[in-house]
Amino acid sequence: MVLAEQVSKSFGSNEVLKSISLEVRRGEVMCLVGPSGSGKSTFLRCINHLEVLSAGRLSVDGELIGYREANGKLYEMAPKEAARQRRDIGMVFQRFNLFPHMTALQNVMEAPLRVKGLPKAQVEQNALDLLARVGLAERSSYYPAHLSGGQQQRVAIARALAMEPKLMLFDEPTSALDPELVGEVLDVMKGLAKSGMTMIVVTHEMGFAKEVADSLVFMDGGVVVESGDPDEILTNPQHRRTQAFLSKVL
């Protein structure tokens, strides 16, 4: 579902991703961990068209991100085509980024109404189903300011799912939450993983990684230091940098 081949990204002279290669198979969950500044967010942002690669190739579901290949050459995609690719990829950020002037239901309905042009009644029913799925059936008419951080983040997940993505990216989705609200968000993500969604999750929640992830990638300084089975890496990290990082978060 996701294939990164020697992906590099620089901001000016600062190379923050240095030849990252990895793959995520359909239906699998990959946890991406590493110290602050190691390039995790930048990598997710490259997948979702929020950044443009400096070198390498990135594809989702067999399609290059941002480029079209013809006669052995790469051509930049038209904005319309890039937008189509983006719609298939859901993203959930550390900050919930809900529209403050819209209710939970309106937040979930917004993109499908605007982009998909489906009948309103159908979009609304789908949004209500999604809110029920994240445990918020009773909160559909609440505004974000009247929801807890955990509830807001669950609305954000429902909102991303409303576009029926084939891939979900999570960038530290529980880092901004009070500790007692982390579990409810992780539970929703676990359910999503069980339903077969392909997910890349940047997180420091090693319990989640151990229980849910099919693979774990440890990044530091823009490179993949170590990757593989989460249990193995968490119990027996091979690299000094992985050991040092895990000793801080475990």
Q: Which is nearer to Mg ion, 77 or 91 (CB)?
A: 91
For residues 198 and 165, give the distance between their C-alpha atoms in angstroms, rounded to a whole number.
9
Determine, following the binding rule CB under 6 A, whether residue 247 of this chain makes contact with ligand ADP: no
Determine, following the binding rule CB under 6 A, whether residue 99 of this chain makes contact with ligand ADP: no
Q: Which is nearer to Mg ion, 41 or 198 (CB)?
A: 41
Burial class (CB in 10 A: 0-12, 13-18, 19+), 240: exposed
DSSP for 14-69, please give it.
EEEEEEEEEEE-TT-EEEEE--TTSSHHHHHHHHTTSS--SEEEEEETTEESSEEE
For residues 184 and 186, give the distance between their C-alpha atoms in angstroms, rounded to a whole number.
6
Determine, following the binding rule CB under 6 A, whether residue 174 of this chain makes contact with ligand ADP: no
Count CB neighbours of 207 within 10 A: 13
Residues 217-236 that bind ligand ADP (CB under 6 A): none
Which part of the chain contacts ligand ADP (CB under 6 A), choosing from 29-37, 156-164, 177-185, 227-235?
29-37
- Min separation Cβ 106 and ligand ADP, Å: 30
Determine, following the binding rule CB under 5 A, whether residue 215 of this chain makes contact with Mg ion: no
Determine, following the binding rule CB under 5 A, whether residue 41 of this chain makes contact with Mg ion: yes
The β-bridge partners of 217 are: 32, 227
Q: Which is nearer to ligand ADP, 123 or 201 (CB)?
A: 201
Q: Which is nearer to Mg ion, 41 or 203 (CB)?
A: 41
Compute how many residues bind ligand ADP; rule: CB under 6 A.
11
For residues 151 and 133, give the distance between their C-alpha atoms in angstroms, rounded to a whole number.
12
Determine, following the binding rule CB under 6 A, whether residue 11 of this chain makes contact with ligand ADP: yes
Residue 11 touches which of Mg ion, ligand ADP, none (Cβ within 5-8 Å per kind): ligand ADP
Q: Is the separation of the CB atoms in 163 and 117 below 8 Å?
A: no
**Residue ranges of E strands in 73-130:** 73-76, 89-92
- Min separation Cβ 58 and Mg ion, Å: 18
Rg over CA atoms, the chain: 18
Q: What residues line the site for ligand ADP (CB under 6 A)?
A: 11, 14, 16, 34, 36-42
Q: What residues line the site for Mg ion (CB under 5 A)?
A: 41
